[in-house]
Structures are given as structure tokens and as C-alpha cells.
Structure 1
Amino acid sequence: MQPLRVVTEASYPPFESFDEHKSIVGFDIELAKAICQQINRQCEFYHQPFDSLLSSIAAGHYDVAISALDITEQRKQTVSFSDAYFVNTAVYLSTAGVNVTEGAAVAVQSGSSFQRFLRSQRPAFLSIAYPSYQLALNDLQQAKIDAVFLDSAAAHYWLAQHPQFVIQTEESYPASGLGMAVSQQSVDLLKQINHALKVLKNNGNYQTIYQSFF
């Protein structure tokens, strides 16, 4: 059987990132490998910019996208999503003493649901789109921006290494969970992925993977 072509944007630890050997690693990657094992397919991982992931899936260039993707109604118009595999919340990561209020320069990843939320629900913020969160976090360290708006799990991962930062939760963010995206024509593959997720959660393997990252 053909390998499962899995695409991600590998600059968002602990979900996905490059290690020192330029291999793609992270929670999403280990979960994808476990799913591939369940459905008897080999995984092949690819990296490309975040804002082109879903269009690549819709065009059939890859089989699955897994990249801490929020399940949203807007995205469902382009691709189909698996059952949610991770509960997510949105937070602002900023330097201690900085208030994320009107006029604040807040970084988001280009093409993300966080970007759409800020533009529609927080127009008083100056939202700045970055091609990767790593670049945004680097600018935060250098005080070039006031905050980064991202997923809570990724923010806590960064916070563990940079304790000078603080987190503020965005209570209004409509968290619907993270899912894997496939083309709308991949009905059988989606069924296989959802069944594999249920098996991994029931046999404890999902929890083992989760606890090794979070």
C-alpha cells in the first residue's frame, strides 16, 4: 500500500518542530505515526508553510495535514476533519508587566484561526501575521511586539524555557479542538483515522504519547 503523505508546518513545538538532525518531531508527529501503525500504512512527513496546508490537502498533494489545526466551520468548507484529538484554548504570551489592551501589537501565525479571531473580534489590537510562531516568539523576546496569540499548550511549552513571560487566557476564543485534515473525497481514509483515534485512546497509547509531551 502507498505511504500516507502527512504534511505539517514544523515550527510549533511541542506539536511539531525540527530536531537537530532536521527530522520532524513532536506530539502531532508521534500521534500520526501511531495512527499509521493502526491502519497499516507507512508515514511520510512533509513540511510547508502553514497558510498553504489546507489548500494542498484539498488539491490532493498530500493525504493528511496535522499541524495543531483548529476545527472550524470555515475550514470545513475546504477540507474534512477528523474527530478532535486535542482540547485547545487560546492565550496571549507576553512579557510580565505588559498589558495586552487596545493598540497592543499582537503576533499570530498567518492563515491561522487565531489570526481570523483577532481581526474579527479584537480589531483594536494591531495584529501582525508571521509565517511561523518561532519568528514571532523571537521578536517577543526582543520586545519588538507586545504579545503572541497562540495555543495554550504551545505557550506553556515556551514558558517553561522562558519564565520571564506570562500568560493571559482569551476567554472568548471558540475552542473546538484540534483535528487532522483530509480532502473531502477521502471518506474511507477519514473513517480509518477516526477509528484509529478511538483505538489509541481506548488502549492507552494516546495517553502515553500525550504524557511524553505535556
Structure 2
Amino acid sequence: MIEFRKLKSVLAISVVAFGALSTAALARDLRIATEGTYAPWSFVDEQGTLTGWDVDIANALCEEMKVKCEVVAQEWDGIIPGLNAKKYDMIVASMTVTEKRKQQVAFSKKYKNTTSQFVAEKGTYPDTSPEALKGKRIGVQRGSSQDGFLTDTYKDSEIVRYDKTTDPEMDLMAGRVDLMIANRVTSLVNFLTRPEAANYELVGEEYSGGVLGEGNAIALRKDDTELLGQVNSALDAIMANGTYDKITSKYFKFKLM
């Protein structure tokens, strides 16, 4: 009986030790990529600090998971290749979930709804159908879900692609493109609030689904299933404890989910 008790004690100690090792393995430092020029989601402020809604969400998730994190800016066109090359561990950048991207990365639970809409000079394009925009120059961020939408749907328009979200805005105001398309909320609370954009507005209908996806989620490598589980649990937690709504209210006067 004594020997049996000793064996049970040894086994118990082993289980505790294994659990501690597992916890330590889960608590590795994380490197997180975001876009960095996509206000109000992620941008560099006047002090040179990377900030924004996605950055705050990333930090809240790390706090919930009790891990140290570094959030870095990465150009959009290379953000998925960088993840799969292990330059960072996940992408928190309002990435739209699409079937094409599901083939490349694993996605967390949805953490934001999204629609896309065209922006143009006031009163110019009430109709934004492919027929109405035939021959028109449309600006879009390269590699975005909106880029794929234009490529598939607006075959008779001239699609002008840019590396940064702010570039089509500047070319729209300069008259080098006729319209641009982007995340509706981004245009509404960022570009269209600027004094220099007073003569521009959202035009046409809101688009979602298909190549535009059904919402935004956090991207991880397909084989990082343990981290994916942690991220999903942390998302549930910050939505339940009010942290998600607190961060959202810092940037918007409306809910995102």
C-alpha cells in the first residue's frame, strides 16, 4: 500500500510538472502584424507610435492570454506571406475572411462585421453598377478584398492599385481616379471627416459576401492550432468582460458587432 501511495505521488507530481511545462509553452512571447497605415484600425500617431483599434485589440488579447506581445507594421501585400514565413505569429489587421484566404491561413472567430462601398465626388455616381462605371478609373488597395471584388466584377473599369490605403484617397482628391472603394467604416470615420474631403461622399450600395467575405477575423498559421484556441478563448473573454466594447467606443460611436 505504501509503495502504491508513493507511485500515486510520483504520478501526481509528474502531471503537475507536465502541466507547468505546457503552460510555459503556451505563454511564449508573440509577434503580431498589423497594416499600420489604415486609420482608425492601425496607424502611426504624431509621436511615432503604432496605434489604432486593431492594435488595442491585439494588446487586450495578449493581456488576456498573459503573454508578452510586440505589434509591428507590415505592408498589406506581403502580410500573409510574412505570417507563413514565421516573421510573426498572427495578423490582427481587420482582415476579411474569404475562401481564398482560408486556403492560406487559419482564422479566429469573427471579431468585426464589415461592408465595402465606393467613394466619389458628391453627386457624381449615384449608380455604381459595373455598367455605370465602365471605363472609369477606380482606386483600391492592392491585395485587399476590395481589389479582388473589382477584378471579378468591374472588368470594364480601369483598376488602379496602391500599396497604402491613403494613396487612393490622395489620387481621388487629385482627380487621378474617378472613384475609390474601401471598407465603409474606414471611409466614413477617417477620410470623409477631413476638411479636404468635404466634397466627397459614400456612393452606391454597400457590398459584402463572396470575395468580400462576411466579416473580419485574426489570421494565424494553419498548423498553430494551440494558439488559435487561445485566441478564440481570449476573444470570448474580452467580449464578455466589456473590454472589446470599451476599445470600440474609444474610436467609434457605434458598435462593430
TM-score by length of 2: 0.80
Which has the larger helix fraction?
2
Partner of 1:166: 201
Counterpart pick for 1:206 among 231, 244, 250: 244
- State how far apart, in whole Å, the 2-side matches of 1:136 and 1:37 are: 35
Distance 1:187 1:169, change over 3 A: farther
Q: Does 1:82 align with 2:108?
A: yes
Counterpart pick for 1:135 among 161, 167, 171: 167
Counterpart pick for 1:153 among 185, 191, 208: 185
How many angstroms does 1:60 deviate by? 1.4
Q: Does 1:70 align with 2:96?
A: yes
Q: Is contact 1:79-1:184 (8 Å) kept?
A: yes
Partner of 1:182: 220
How many angstroms does 1:2 deviate by? 3.5
Could you list the runs of 5+ residues in structure 2 that have no partner in the other structure?
A: 1-26, 253-257
Q: Does 1:193 align with 2:231?
A: yes
- State how far apart, in whole Å, the 2-side matches of 1:146 and 1:163 are: 16
Counterpart pick for 1:119 among 151, 167, 177: 151
**Matched letter for residue 134 of structure 1:** T
Counterpart pick for 2:123 among 90, 97, 115: 97
**Matched letter for residue 241 of structure 2:** N
How many angstroms does 1:97 deviate by? 2.5
- State how far apart, in whole Å, the 2-side matches of 1:3 and 1:96 are: 48
Q: SS state of the match for residue 148, structure 1?
A: strand
Q: Does 1:36 align with 2:62?
A: yes
Distance 1:135 1:213, change over 3 A: same
How many angstroms does 1:185 deviate by? 1.0
**Matched letter for residue 135 of structure 1:** D
Q: SS state of the match for residue 106, structure 1?
A: strand
How many angstroms does 1:14 deviate by? 0.6
How many angstroms does 1:172 deviate by? 4.4
Please provide the CA RMSD for this pair: 1.3
Deviations 1:157-179 (A, max 9, x none): 21122332110254443141111
**Matched letter for residue 140 of structure 2:** V
**Matched letter for residue 166 of structure 1:** E
Q: SS state of the match for residue 251, structure 2?
A: coil
Q: Is contact 1:117-1:173 (8 Å) kept?
A: no
Could you list the runs of 5+ residues in structure 1 that have no partner in the other structure?
A: none
**Matched letter for residue 26 of structure 1:** G
How many angstroms does 1:94 deviate by? 1.1
How many angstroms does 1:149 deviate by? 0.7
Deviations 1:72-117 (A, max 9, x none): 1100111101111110000111111222422221111111111011
Q: SS state of the match for residue 185, structure 1?
A: coil
